[in-house]
Amino acid sequence: MIFTASVLTLYPDMFPGSLGHSLAGRALSRQDWSCDTVQIRDFATDKHKTVDDTPAGGGAGMVLKANVLARAIDHASPEGDNRPRLLMSPRGQPLNQKRVRQLAAGDGVVIVCGRFEGVDQRVIEARNLEEVSIGDYILSGGEVAATVLLDAIVRLLPGVMGNAESGANESFETGLLEHPHYTRPAEWEGRPIPPVLISGDHQKVARWQHRQSEELTRMRRPDLLPNEDRQD
């Protein structure tokens, strides 16, 4: 069974988008994974195909209707479908590499792309939607966030990356940010490659890379470090 992503959106033409290129695109062509889109508007029943309404209690913006979205979800993920149902939302749990790996180990995902002011809370609860955030900022809709999530997942699927170690040694995989990288020429604009990296001593290289990862993490993301390793 291939990894199957079902994306519920008002803009299905946005997919696969960038996911149709590079590693994800080649994997899509090989059918290592699939990306199906569901047009939420198709499940509106009035003649205007209305998918939103004004928020109860007043306020700015519009809210995606529970009944319309529920029908779209039930179509994409009928009874017996065990794939996680995710709602891309700025108030969701922050996405991290641990959750990405968990999702990549499954059969696929159902992703709801929110629009407007938000989604009726009742459908979030009734259809057990897991709210996921990719950062502390607001986008026009969930489509870009869904693309980010899928890109992070797909690259971890078996066979997608040519070198399995590429995924194991990256930022966040070890709890640290990744160390700096260099390549030829040996000197560029008066800046040489650190001598240890061309010394041929693999143990020294490994120690240097680990120290660099620790220092970068301490400077840029101290929240990733245990309390005793942080510097005030």
Pairing of strands 191-192, 118-119: unpaired
Name every residue whose Cβ is closer than 8 Å to that of residue 70 and which is 6 or more positions away in sequence.
Answer: 123, 126, 127
Residue 167 has pLDDT above 90, yes or no: no
For 73-113, what is each residue's pLDDT tens digit?
Answer: 999 999 999 999 999 999 999 999 999 999 999 999 999 99
Confidence of residue 170 (pLDDT cuts 50, 70, 90): low
The last residue of one of the domains, among 154, 177, 197, is: 154
Helix (DSSP H) and strand (DSSP E) numbers for the chain: 7, 10
For 113-153, what is each residue's pLDDT tens digit?
Answer: 999 999 999 999 999 999 999 999 999 999 999 999 999 99
The CATH number given to whatever domain includes residue 111 is: 3.40.1280.10
The CATH number given to whatever domain includes residue 201 is: 1.10.1270.20
Residue reference for tokens 């990894």: 3
The last residue of one of the domains, among 154, 182, 201, is: 154
Number of domain units in the chain? 2
* Shared domain check, 71 and 46: yes
Three-class SS of residue 46? Answer: coil
Neighbours of 56 (CB within 10 A): 9
Tell me the residue range of the domain where 40 lies. 3-154
pTM of the model: 0.90
Torsion from C-alpha of 21, 36, 131, 124, nearest 10 degrees? 160
Question: Largest Cα–Cα distance of the chain, in whole Å?
Answer: 72
Residue 165 has pLDDT above 60, yes or no: no
* Shared domain check, 134 and 23: yes
| Nearest CA among 153, 120, 119, 116 for reference residue 134 | 153
Structure tokens belonging to residue 119: 């989604």
Distances (CA, A) of 207 to 2, 47, 178, 210, 214: 39, 66, 13, 5, 11
* Shared domain check, 130 and 178: no
Structure tokens belonging to residue 230: 């942080």
Helices (DSSP H) in 42-200: which residue ranges?
66-76, 97-104, 121-126, 142-154, 165-168
* Shared domain check, 180 and 100: no
* Shared domain check, 210 and 109: no
Query: What pLDDT is stored for residue 173 in this prediction?
Result: 78
Residue 230 has pLDDT above 70, yes or no: no
For 3-54, what is each residue's pLDDT tens digit?
Answer: 999 999 999 999 999 999 999 999 999 999 999 999 999 999 999 999 999 9
CA 221 to CA 27: how far, in whole Å? 32
